[in-house]
Amino acid sequence: MYEHLTIVKHPLVQHKLTLMRDKDTPTAVFRQLLREISQLLAYEITRELEMTTRRIETPLCEMDAPVLAGKKLALVSILRAGNGLLDGVLELVPSARVGYVGLYRDEKTLLPVQYYYKVPTDLEDRLVIVLDPMLATGNSSAAAVDLLKASGANNIRFMCLLAAPEGVARMGQAHPDVPIVTAAVDECLNEHGYIVPGLGDAGDRMFGTR
Nearest by Cα to 124 from 144, 145, 146, 151:
151
Q: Interacting stretch for ligand URA, rule CB under 6 A, among 1-9, 104-112, 119-127, 190-198?
A: 190-198
CB 132 to ligand URA: min, Å: 9
Closer CB to ligand URA, 30 or 45, in the complex? 30
Spell 122-140 as b/e; 16+ CB within 10 A means b.
ebeebbbbbbbbbbbbbbb
Spell 53-84 as b/e; 16+ CB within 10 A means b.
eeeeeeeeeeeeeeeeeeebbbbbbbbebbbb
Q: Is 204 a catalytic residue?
A: yes
Residue 49 parent element (H or E): none
Determine contact, residues 44/8, Cβ cutoff 8 Å.
Answer: yes
Q: Is 137 annotated as a binding residue?
A: yes
Is residue 26 classed as helix, strand or coil in its secondary structure?
A: coil
Interface with ligand URA (CB under 6 A), residue from 43, 100, 194, 207: 194
Distance CA 12, CA 71 (A): 31
Q: Interacting stretch for ligand URA, rule CB under 6 A, among 70-78, 90-98, 108-116, 192-200?
A: 192-200
Interface with ligand URA (CB under 6 A), residue from 8, 136, 153, 156: 136
CA angle 174, 144, 10 (to 5 degrees): 80
Q: Interacting stretch for ligand URA, rule CB under 6 A, among 20-28, 83-91, 117-125, 201-209?
A: 201-209
CA angle 73, 79, 205 (to 5 degrees): 115
Q: Is 138 annotated as a binding residue?
A: yes
Distance CA 103, CA 123 (A): 20
Site for ligand URA in 49-108 (CB under 6 A): 81
CB 201 to ligand URA: min, Å: 4
Q: Does 2 bind ligand URA (CB under 6 A)?
A: no
Q: Does 17 bind ligand URA (CB under 6 A)?
A: no
- Count CB neighbours of 192 within 10 A: 6
Closer CB to ligand URA, 32 or 155, in the complex? 32
- Extract the annotated binding site for uracil: 195, 200-202
- Extract the annotated binding site for 5-phospho-alpha-D-ribose 1-diphosphate: 80, 105, 132-140, 201
Residues that bind ligand URA (CB under 6 A): 81, 134, 136, 193-195, 198, 201-203
Q: Which residues are catalytic?
A: 105, 109, 201, 204
